Structure 1
Amino acid sequence: MRVVPNSLHDEVAASLREEIFAGTMAPGSFLDEAALCERLAISRTPLREALKVLTAEGLLRHEPRRGCFVAEVTDRDLDEIFPVIALLEGRCAWEAARNASDADIAALEALHDKLAKHARAKRINDYYATNFIIHEAIITLADNRWLASVIGDLRKILKLARLQQLNAPGRLAQSLSEHLAVFAALKARDSDGAEAAMRTHLHRQREALRAVALQQKSRLAS
């Protein structure tokens, strides 16, 4: 992969970020700078600037004299982040219900139809991708740049773990039901209802991740 030297460290950061989100770089794995420079056909300077960006975002952790490692999201991280993002995205849903036009609601309805099809077919990756677009659409409709900025930072961290929650038994159907409740409130222009439904959706994501972690521990112990 050859990176074009246009805002080079930003492009390198974007490339590595996608690899982290895709799981190509597993949580806890070491980033070999020499190997990365060779693979990306770049020098150490833009790579190190890119690593600083990803470290600031919380996607990497830097250890003195050892280098950079892909961040691992802990239970404590999730327990601390989910209540915050539930409040923030809940507020986005509240504002979106006030701002959404008929055309916006029609676009959201089409996205939810697509979400339902992915859920019925149990296409988890496609479901998650559409789910992400829906959340982004609601954040955009809120039209609050401060909310969008803070949520964007937190979502980068949660993206390292969120896909796992859809593997919890019954979670796919439950998630769809939650999304439809948010959409119903948005369509009714019910700001308080949309906020409450979004908060419930985010809190249940945390519960599902906890269930998946317990299942994994149980399998390892058996």
Structure 2
Amino acid sequence: MASAVSLAPRALYEEVAEQLRQQIFRRELEPGSWIDEVKIASEFGISRTPLREALKVLAAEGLVTMKVRRGAYVTEVSETDLADVYHLLSLLESDAAGVVAQKATDEQVKELQQLHKQLEAAQSDRDKFFAINERFHMRLLEIAGNKWRDQLVADLRKVMKLNRHNSLLKAGRVKESMLEHRAIVDAIARRDAKAATKRMQEHFTNGLKAAA
């Protein structure tokens, strides 16, 4: 559990939000669980004012649900929510993959290939695999170069993380995901925008099936 010493005074509520965000992603705060403001404020050594501001941030991101007269709860993602998030990510990231296939420099393509090699090497480490997977996707978006799309994807991926561990419970999903990444990178390396777009769409379609 984080202590008050680790919280930066320059933007206390943002630091508190990040602490809680990571606890949610690590499942230290489970989906559907009530957030005990008194307990957390005491553990962090802060007043409830920055904590409540932090909860507003997380609520805006979809990670926390505020209930009238009941307080804040970690959001539970329904099947409909998950399908909607994956649908939007598929649209946004497949478009980005097509753009990257057309505009990426040779050096940027090599960078994506290197990230994929790291992904292959991390297949036995679930948390490391997820971290590299996210770096790959976010780097691809950076190369595509649309800051508005980047922000939308970043917010959607936060919601997706609420359910991400479930997707790996399906036998063989890590290996399948890795092979899908390889197909995306190969299409980009061939400068085949149509294939890169299609492979990314398939990646999210398969990801939703595994996560549902």
Normalised by the length of structure 2, the TM-score is 0.95
May I ask how many residue pairs the two structures share in their alignment?
208
Matches within 5 A, 1:51-200: 51-119=55-123, 122-200=124-202
Unaligned runs of 5+ in 2: none
Kindly state the Cα deviation for residue 57 of structure 1 after the two structures are TM-superposed.
0.8
Aligned residue among 12, 28, 53 for 2:16: 12
User: Where does residue 43 of structure 2 map in the other structure?
Assistant: 39
Provide the rounded CA distance (Å) in 2 between the counterparts of 1:175 and 1:38: 41
Amino acid at match of 1:21: F
SS where residue 10 of structure 2 aligns? coil
Kindly state the Cα deviation for residue 48 of structure 1 after the two structures are TM-superposed.
0.7
Provide the rounded CA distance (Å) in 1 between the counterparts of 2:142 and 2:208: 23
Q: Are the equivalent residues in 2 in contact too, given 1:115–1:130 (CA < 8 A)?
A: yes
Kindly state the Cα deviation for residue 78 of structure 1 after the two structures are TM-superposed.
1.1
Kindly state the Cα deviation for residue 179 of structure 1 after the two structures are TM-superposed.
0.4
Kindly state the Cα deviation for residue 4 of structure 1 after the two structures are TM-superposed.
2.2
Provide the rounded CA distance (Å) in 2 between the counterparts of 1:80 and 1:107: 30
Kindly state the Cα deviation for residue 110 of structure 1 after the two structures are TM-superposed.
1.3
Residues 1:28 and 2:9 are matched in the alignment: no
Instruction: Deviation per CA, 1:13-59: give whole Å up to 9, x if none.
Output: 11111111111111111111111111111111111111111011110
SS where residue 9 of structure 2 aligns? coil
Provide the rounded CA distance (Å) in 1 between the counterparts of 2:61 and 2:14: 13
Question: Structure 1 segments of 4 or more deviating over 4 A?
Answer: none
Provide the rounded CA distance (Å) in 2 between the counterparts of 1:61 and 1:73: 11
SS where residue 7 of structure 1 aligns? helix
Amino acid at match of 1:94: G
Aligned residue among 204, 207, 210 for 1:208: 210
Amino acid at match of 2:122: H
Identity between Structure 1 and Structure 2 (%): 37
User: Where does residue 216 of structure 1 map in the other structure?
Assistant: none
Instruction: Deviation per CA, 1:158-179: give whole Å up to 9, x if none.
Output: 0111232122112111111100
Provide the rounded CA distance (Å) in 2 between the counterparts of 1:17 and 1:25: 9
SS where residue 77 of structure 2 aligns? coil
Kindly state the Cα deviation for residue 95 of structure 1 after the two structures are TM-superposed.
1.2
User: Where does residue 214 of structure 1 map in the other structure?
Assistant: none
Superposed CA RMSD: 1.1
Unaligned runs of 5+ in 1: 211-222
Instruction: Deviation per CA, 1:132-190: give whole Å up to 9, x if none.
Output: 11011111111011111111111110011123212211211111110000000111111
Provide the rounded CA distance (Å) in 1 between the counterparts of 2:155 and 2:174: 25
SS where residue 72 of structure 2 aligns? strand
